[in-house]
Amino acid sequence: MPKQRRCRSPGSPPCTHCAKAACCWDARCWSTAPRGVGHLACQLAAAAGAQVWGHLRRKQYRAAVAEWCGERVVLGGDLAAAKPYGPFWLILDSLGGRALAAALGMLQPGGTCVTFGVSDAAQATIESRDFFATGGTRLYGLTLFHELMSVERAGIGLALLAGLIAEKKLRPQIAVEASWSEVGAVARRLIDREYSGKAVLHID
């Protein structure tokens, strides 16, 4: 293994992917979505010995994200603000669009960008020369159903995550708890970005 690898992590399959990929000495991880499921990926990468970085566009979330990223947080309206901290060995991205395009230009030789969402935009225009000229870079499309059918059964990953939570080595960010009958209102609050973290709905 190279002495130092840099990773960037923005999820559940992404969480496991990050944990496996970050099992190298002194890796650096970057997250475009450290407030969502990405905060689990950040914790797993850090537990595996990675240096985790987070990118935020809203200053009010900095304190929460800094906890998962060891105070390594970059604020900026565009992912280009992260470039001075690269290049990175692993990037997990759930935004798509301009963020994905920027991420592909921040990989180190042999680095991988895992894309698993398009919450910002479904199309991305990339600088092809910068991507292939780096050497050995990869773009991996991750979707839940393919991973469960061809990589690992859901029970294996869930057991791993549940065990880490029980041992208090992994702390899910639960922002809302409510009755299942309130699913509409809770979903609307999520869409409107009224809270960060996850919602737990109890079946009455």
Q: What is the pLDDT of residues 135-179, one digit of tens each?
A: 999 999 988 888 888 888 888 888 988 998 999 888 888 889 999
Tell me, which fold does domain 5-146 have in CATH?
Rossmann fold (3.40.50)
- Residue 34 binned pLDDT confidence (cut-offs 50, 70, 90): low
Binned at pLDDT 50, 70 and 90, residue 91 comes out as confident
Provide CATH 3.40.50.720 ranges for the chain. Answer: 5-146
pLDDT tens across 115-143, in order? 988 888 899 999 999 999 999 999 999 88
- Determine if the pTM surpasses 0.85: no
Q: What is the pLDDT of residues 49-75, one digit of tens each?
A: 778 888 777 787 787 778 777 788 888
State residue 120's pLDDT score: 84
Percent of the chain past pLDDT 70, that is, above it, reads: 82
Read off the DSSP letter of residue 180. Answer: G
Residue 5: pLDDT over 50: no
For the chain, what is the radius of gyration of the CA atoms? 17
The pLDDT value recorded for residue 16 is 44
Between 196 and 24, the higher pLDDT residue: 196
pLDDT of residue 31: 60
Q: What is the pLDDT of residue 9?
A: 41
The average confidence (pLDDT) of the chain is 79
Encode 17-75 in three state secondary structure: HHHHHCCCCCEEEEECCCCCCHHHHHHHHHHCCCEEEEEECCHHHHHHHHHHHCCCEEE
pLDDT at 186: 94
Could you check whether the bond before residue 87 is cis, i.e. omega within 30 degrees of 0?
yes
